[in-house]
């Protein structure tokens, strides 16, 4: 038991089985032999590429939030909304709980996520540890499951289809920005940010 150092081991998060770390080739996925959970994705996390992706996602996110998503027309009158329009509508119509959930999962958490990842990568690029590295990484761990932009895109699609029965519906640029954002989020989801913990270890030793 005392023959291996803990750094050479990894523990499956879902079943507590101990595995020996092994060298992996690019694109390989390590699975737990006991429960089948993913142990680690191997990708050479290239901070420059990642940073470019985060910056793109950030710009698209701003546009997705500023531009109207859909416009409805009825007898020559028009009505359009943005994400914040929907949040404010919920607040005013006695559904403040929903307004808070939507603001958190569609605006604040995604924003914090992108800014944090961008900040960490900016320093990782220079092989430095970002100020506030530990609290930021811990925050990312906790807000991870609470970002729902991709659900919102599908929700907008359903809303458009429902409204089409009664109104003239025009999709606005905001919905396309959201669609692009969803693609970027999918790319991100494949990258395990927890790799950064290990990068930091190498430096500090």
203 touches another protein (CB under 8 A): no
Structure tokens at 11: 């523990």
Altogether, the residues listed in the chain come to a count of: 205
130 touches another protein (CB under 8 A): no
Give me the helix-helix angle, 83-92 and 47-66, nearest 10°. 50
Stretch that binds Zn ion, among 24-32, 74-82, 95-103, 186-194 (CB under 5 A): 24-32
Q: How far is the CB of 201 from Zn ion (least distance, A)?
A: 11
Q: Which does 167 bind (CB under 5 to 8 A by kind): another protein, Zn ion, none?
A: another protein
- Measured from the CB atom, the residue of 15 and 52 that comes closer to another protein is 15
74 touches Zn ion (CB under 5 A): no
> CB–CB of 146/109 below 8 Å?
yes
Distance of alpha carbon 8 from the chain centroid: 30
- Rounded CA gap, 60 and 176, in Å? 9
Nearest alpha carbon to residue 183 among 69, 103, 64: 64
- Measured from the CB atom, the residue of 17 and 63 that comes closer to another protein is 17
> CB–CB of 113/54 below 8 Å?
no
Nearest alpha carbon to residue 10 among 157, 204, 192, 154: 192
- Rounded CA gap, 157 and 151, in Å? 10
- Measured from the CB atom, the residue of 102 and 181 that comes closer to another protein is 102
Stretch that binds Zn ion, among 5-13, 42-50, 85-93, 106-114 (CB under 5 A): 5-13
189 touches Zn ion (CB under 5 A): no
Residues 78-97 that bind another protein (CB under 8 A): 79-81, 85-90, 93-95, 97
11 touches another protein (CB under 8 A): yes
> CB–CB of 86/29 below 8 Å?
no
Positions touching another protein (CB under 8 A) are 1, 6-7, 9-11, 13-19, 33-37, 69-70, 72, 74-75, 77, 79-81, 85-90, 93-95, 97-98, 101-102, 105-106, 134, 137-138, 141, 145-146, 148, 151-152, 154-159, 161-163, 165-167, 194, 197, 201
């Amino acid at each position: 038991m005392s023959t291996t150092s803990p750094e050479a081991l990894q523990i499956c998060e879902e079943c507590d089985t101990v595995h020996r770390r092994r060298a992996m080739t690019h694109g390989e996925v390590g699975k737990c032999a006991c429960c089948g959970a993913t142990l680690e994705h191997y990708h050479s996390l290239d901070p420059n590429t990642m940073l470019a992706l985060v910056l793109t996602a950030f710009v698209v996110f701003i546009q997705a939030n500023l531009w109207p998503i859909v416009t409805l027309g009825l007898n020559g009158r028009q009505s359009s909304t943005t994400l914040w329009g929907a949040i404010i509508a919920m607040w005013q119509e006695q559904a403040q709980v929903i307004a808070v959930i939507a603001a958190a999962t569609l605006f604040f958490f995604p924003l914090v996520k992108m800014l944090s990842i961008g900040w960490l990568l900016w320093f990782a690029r220079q092989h430095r540890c970002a100020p506030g590295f530990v609290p930021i990484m811990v925050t990312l761990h906790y807000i991870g499951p609470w970002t729902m932009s991709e659900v919102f895109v599908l929700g907008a699609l359903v809303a458009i289809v429902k409204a089409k029965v009664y109104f003239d519906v025009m999709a606005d640029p905001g919905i396309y920005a959201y669609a692009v954002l969803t693609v970027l989020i999918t790319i991100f989801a494949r990258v395990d940010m927890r790799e950064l913990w290990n990068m930091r270890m190498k430096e500090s030793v």
